[in-house]
Amino acid sequence: MSSPIVNAVVASSIACAAVAADGHWQRLADIPDAEGFAGSFAGVVEGGLVVAGGANFPDAKPWEGGTKRWHDRAFLLDSPAGRWREAGRLPRPLGYGVAVTTPTGLLCIGGSDERSHRAEVFELQRDGEHLQAIPLQALPVTLANMCGALVGRAVYVAGGQETPAATAALARVWTLDLDRLDAGWQEIEPLPGRGRILAAAGALGDTFVVAGGAALEARGDGQADRVWLRDAWAFDAAAGDQKRWRRIADLPRAAVAAPSPMPLDDAGRLLLLGGDDGTQVGVKPSDHAGFPRDVLAWDPAADAWVAAGEVVEGLVTTPTVNWGGAVVVPGGELRPGIRSNHVWRR
């Protein structure tokens, strides 16, 4: 398979953004949709911030009988002081996959639509003022609600569900070498912990980290209950034949669907920005207090998660983006069934 990615040089724009400990959050222009989206793909394409796809409840909230609708619109923001504009469409309405910025565009991996989970992989590239989707080799399985990150020149994808009705989450892990696209997706050692959906992933040097998420347990009625998880795991991608997962410190609390991939702060710590802690399961939508806003930092030297401030809004099921050395959280889910079109940058 030929692609301009093969010969591209890693650009500084895709390096892990450093979040200053004393930094403050700035609200950028709202995404131009009244409801906003959860599960969007987001990243940087030729210097512009892109948010594409995702899902919402545009007609009525779920407790009012509303239907969840997936979207295919792609929006582009050329500068932090600018305004969003619609710059293209995805090949289909799609959300809840993994988004990774590469030197040549935004890699969109798997995800779901209103009928099924998808295996397709494509890269959004810029053609003048518009975005176009360039197909790449598909995942070996259909997959949504997984996590992933770019570690060096390899994309890692972990966990997820193969179908919307799946009552078990996967522990499987795949990698894609951007310098050997012809080799396709390679499966590596699975996560030693439970299979999980909606975990947070991150890259710290040559280490791929997966934290939290939810396991699934089948019920007798064919549905599944979520089990909130606190365990975290690290995979050393540079260890050669000694590559293997190791357990790192558990999170102080459960975290499901936290913005991912986890960014780095200026002390070299991975940051978990909120995430659903499961304490409001069963709470009526009208009484839901929103998702946690506290930030947890993993210090690799001490192997410990410590408090590291707060985000302005507790947004979940949304990606993070390194844009010009700052971390951006574009939209997401503010409370169950309620999306946000807010875009935060720090």
Cα separation of 164 and 216, whole Å?
Answer: 12
CATH of 28-335, one of 3.90.1170.40, 2.120.10.80, 2.70.98.60, 1.10.287.3510: 2.120.10.80
User: What is the pLDDT averaged over residues 173-177?
Assistant: 98
Interval 126-165: pLDDT, tens: 998 999 999 999 999 999 999 999 999 999 999 999 999 9
Interval 182-236: pLDDT, tens: 999 999 999 999 999 999 999 999 999 999 999 999 999 989 999 999 999 999 9
Tokens of 214: 């939810």
Interval 81-114: pLDDT, tens: 999 999 999 999 999 999 999 999 999 999 999 9
Query: Looking at residue 22, what is its pLDDT?
Result: 45
Cα separation of 278 and 207, whole Å?
Answer: 28
Domain ranges (residues) in the chain: 28-335
User: What is the pLDDT averaged over residues 23-34?
Assistant: 93
| CB burial readout 99-119, b (16+ within 10 A) else e | bbbbbbbbbbbbbbbeeebbb
Cα separation of 241 and 254, whole Å?
Answer: 33
Chain centroid to CA 103: how far?
A: 18
Query: Looking at residue 20, what is its pLDDT?
Result: 42
Interval 110-126: pLDDT, tens: 999 999 999 999 999 99
Query: Looking at residue 320, what is its pLDDT?
Result: 98
Q: Is the pTM of this model over 0.85?
A: yes
Query: Looking at residue 239, what is its pLDDT?
Result: 74
Query: Looking at residue 21, what is its pLDDT?
Result: 40
Cα separation of 285 and 267, whole Å?
Answer: 38
Indicate whether 174 pLDDT > 90.
Answer: yes
Burial-class residue 164 by CB neighbours within 10 Å (0-12, 13-18, 19+).
middle
Cα separation of 344 and 232, whole Å?
Answer: 26
Cα separation of 136 and 158, whole Å?
Answer: 19
Q: Please spell the DSSP secondary structure of 74-91, one letter per residue.
A: EEEESSTTS--EEEEE-S
Query: Looking at residue 23, what is its pLDDT?
Result: 61
Long-range contacts of 219-227 (CB under 8 A, 24+ apart): 219/167, 222/165, 222/167, 223/167, 224/166, 224/167, 224/168, 226/256, 226/278, 226/281, 227/194
